[in-house]
């Protein structure tokens, strides 16, 4: 006769095999055979949905591009874009660190020489719901997004995604992102640390995170931004003093004189520039009147979304400036709205009632809770022993290097390696300082989306971060 303990063991074994079998089937269903217009590649791709809230029908869309070699040995990196409300598929995957770039017509792809999946398995997440292909069956969710719910949903996503891809359980995990992901990344890291402490058998092996041009502290960021405008000759002395005297950046609310001074600077003194990259040409499509470009043009003046990218037309000639193309966001919107692309990526399976866009204006305008300062969270995560790097492209005027440095200075950290220039090849890639618990680096000549403007320098930064080594001095 079988003992009861043996019977329970057999039942448990059967259930475990069933769960693993189901997860394997889901992972196999998510495999991307080939994207339309894709060149040949030597790595696996997966994409699809993970349900994060059954009651309200919230589901997040992901795209995994595995490493080009020895993927089973390399870490997992979760990439998040900010906004809030902007797509990691549009920006991180298609303009910055992903393996592909989209051609001008949106008809095909070409390879990115400095893709980060040369060093790691990269998982792009469109978060929160309402961003890109991520959706909710409860329409009111779109007007109730905020920091806390975004972090909670992202944690649930990771837990359930790793059930679907168990080979990534216990794998070294790093989180990366930029801009408003200066909130998303450390907030999710804090959730993971708490989850691991509360779990009898934690399996999310978070090692650290890296964020670029990161929104960090409302007070210091705001003062540092205005300082950048003035020191880079974007505004007059008069406007600078007007903003400083009329704005109380430590207050969560603004005054009319403050708003008027900032509005005057943007509308009368900045000129027609790309605020996310002040020394490169802006996209001429922003002045076009066709319906295709209307939403692109409408958001260009006020920096509420990630980089404006494109091409500069001079007469009948088309100029590319060192490979930088200031209208790439438009190419992404052409490509990912193609039905055959969505089918290949297992996307838009519910038939969402709106076009795929790089950013969601609804989320940007209705964001509910936003943590005033991330500095206390940084202190908690440094105490938890995570590897933390912050980098800053130095030609971004939206979340500029001066803002980031001012925020970091108020952490009052001990310097381990004093300020020095770091190199890629024989050129200065930027400057860096290593503190106890945190590394800061600038990237010379890069705008808001650092890997798009300076891909080689960003790739060196990423390799050094993964290795846990200071940036090269020569």
Look up the CATH number of the domain holding residue 103: 3.40.50.1820
Please check whether residue 1 lies inside any domain of the structure.
no
Q: Is residue 299 part of a domain?
A: no
Check whether residue 386 and residue 472 sit in a common domain.
yes
Is the four-CA dihedral 402, 407, 410, 412 of positive or negative sign?
A: negative
Residues 256 and 168 in one domain: no
Q: Does residue 244 sit in the same domain as residue 98?
A: no
Instruction: Establish if 227 belongs to a structural domain.
Output: no
Same domain, 381 and 447: yes
**242 and 171 belong to one structural domain:** no
Q: Are residues 156 and 255 in the same domain?
A: no
Domain with 239, as residue range(s), is 235-269
Per-residue pLDDT of the chain (474 residues; tens, 9 = 90+): 555 556 555 665 555 455 555 566 678 899 999 999 999 999 999 999 999 999 999 999 999 999 999 999 999 999 999 999 999 999 999 999 999 999 999 999 999 999 999 999 999 999 999 999 999 999 999 999 999 999 999 999 999 999 999 999 999 999 999 999 999 999 999 999 999 999 888 889 999 999 999 999 999 999 999 999 999 999 999 999 999 999 999 988 888 999 999 999 999 999 999 999 999 988 876 544 344 443 443 333 344 333 322 222 222 222 233 356 778 889 999 999 999 999 999 999 999 888 999 999 999 999 999 999 999 999 999 999 999 999 999 999 999 999 999 999 999 999 999 999 999 989 999 999 999 999 999 999 999 999 999 999 999 999 999 999 999 998
109 in a structural domain: yes
Which residue in the block uniquely carries the two structure tokens 């880079």?
A: 232
Does 261 share its domain with 348?
A: no
- Which residues form the catalytic set? 179, 396, 448
* SS3 of residue 465 by DSSP: helix
7: in domain: no
If one counts the domains in the chain, the total is 2
Q: For residue 175, with 0-12 CB atoms within 10 Å meaning exposed, 13-18 middle and 19 or more buried, which class applies?
A: buried
CA distance 156 to 51: 9
Q: What are phi and psi of 445, to 5 degrees?
A: 80, 10
DSSP H helical segments within 415-454, as ranges?
450-453
- Say whether both 34 and 156 belong to one domain: yes
Domain co-membership, 191 together with 212? yes
Tell me, yes or no, whether 58 lies in a domain.
yes
Residue 196 shares a structural domain with residue 116 = yes
Q: Across 339-437, where does the E strand assignment appear? A: 387-393, 415-424, 427-435
Please state whether the predicted TM-score (pTM) of the whole model is above 0.85: yes
Is residue 45 in some structural domain?
Answer: yes
Per-residue DSSP letters for 224-265?
Answer: HHHHHHHHTTSS-HHHHHHHHHH--TTSSS--HHHHHHHHHI
Contacts of 1 (CB under 8 A, 6+ apart): none
* Same domain flag for 372 and 257: no
Q: Does 398 lie in the same domain as 420?
A: yes
Domain-embedded: residue 244: yes
């Amino acid at each position: 006769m079988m003992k009861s303990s043996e019977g329970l063991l057999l039942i448990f074994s059967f259930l475990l095999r069933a769960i693993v079998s189901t997860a394997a089937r889901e992972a196999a269903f998510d495999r991307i055979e080939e994207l339309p217009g894709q060149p040949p590649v030597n790595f696996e791709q997966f994409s699809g949905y993970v349900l994060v809230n059954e009651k309200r029908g919230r589901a997040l869309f992901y795209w995994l591009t595995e490493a080009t070699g020895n993927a089973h040995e390399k870490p997992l990196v979760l990439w998040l874009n900010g906004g809030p409300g902007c797509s990691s598929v549009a920006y991180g995957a298609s303009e910055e660190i992903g393996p592909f770039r989209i051609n001008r017509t949106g008809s095909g792809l070409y390879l990115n020489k400095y893709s980060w999946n040369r060093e790691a398995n990269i998982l792009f997440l469109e978060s929160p719901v309402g961003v890109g292909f991520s959706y909710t069956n409860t329409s009111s969710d779109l007007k109730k997004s905020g920091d806390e719910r975004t972090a909670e949903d992202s944690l649930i996503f990771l837990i359930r995604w790793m059930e679907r891809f168990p080979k990534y359980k216990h794998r070294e995990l790093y989180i990366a992102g930029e801009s408003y992901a200066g909130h998303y990344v450390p907030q999710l890291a804090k959730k993971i640390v708490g989850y691991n402490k509360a779990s009898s058998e934690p399996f999310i092996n978070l090692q650290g995170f890296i964020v670029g041009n990161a929104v960090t502290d409302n007070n210091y960021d705001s003062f540092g931004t205005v300082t950048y405008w003035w020191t880079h000759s974007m505004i007059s002395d008069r406007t600078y003093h007007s903003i400083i005297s009329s704005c109380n950046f430590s207050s969560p609310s603004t005054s009319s004189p403050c708003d008027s001074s900032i509005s005057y600077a943007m509308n009368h003194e900045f000129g027609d520039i790309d605020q996310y990259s002040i020394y490169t040409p802006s996209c001429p499509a922003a002045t076009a009147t066709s319906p295709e470009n209307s939403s692109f043009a409408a958001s260009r003046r006020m920096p509420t979304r990630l980089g404006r990218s494109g091409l500069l037309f001079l007469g009948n000639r088309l100029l590319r400036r060192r490979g930088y193309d200031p209208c790439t966001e438009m190419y992404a919107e052409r490509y990912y709205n193609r039905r055959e692309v969505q089918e290949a990526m297992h996307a838009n399976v519910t038939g969402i009632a709106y076009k795929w866009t790089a950013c969601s204006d609804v989320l940007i305008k209705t964001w509910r809770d936003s943590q005033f300062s991330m500095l206390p969270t940084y202190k908690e995560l440094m105490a938890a022993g995570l590897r933390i790097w912050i980098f800053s492209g130095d030609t971004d005027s939206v979340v500029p290097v001066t803002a980031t440095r001012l925020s970091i200075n108020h952490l009052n950290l001990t310097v381990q390696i004093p300020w020095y220039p770091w190199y890629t090849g024989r050129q200065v890639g930027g400057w860096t300082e290593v503190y106890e618990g945190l590394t800061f680096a600038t990237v010379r000549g890069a705008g808001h989306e650092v890997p798009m403007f300076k891909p080689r320098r960003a790739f060196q930064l990423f390799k050094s971060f993964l290795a846990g080594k200071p940036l090269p001095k020569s």
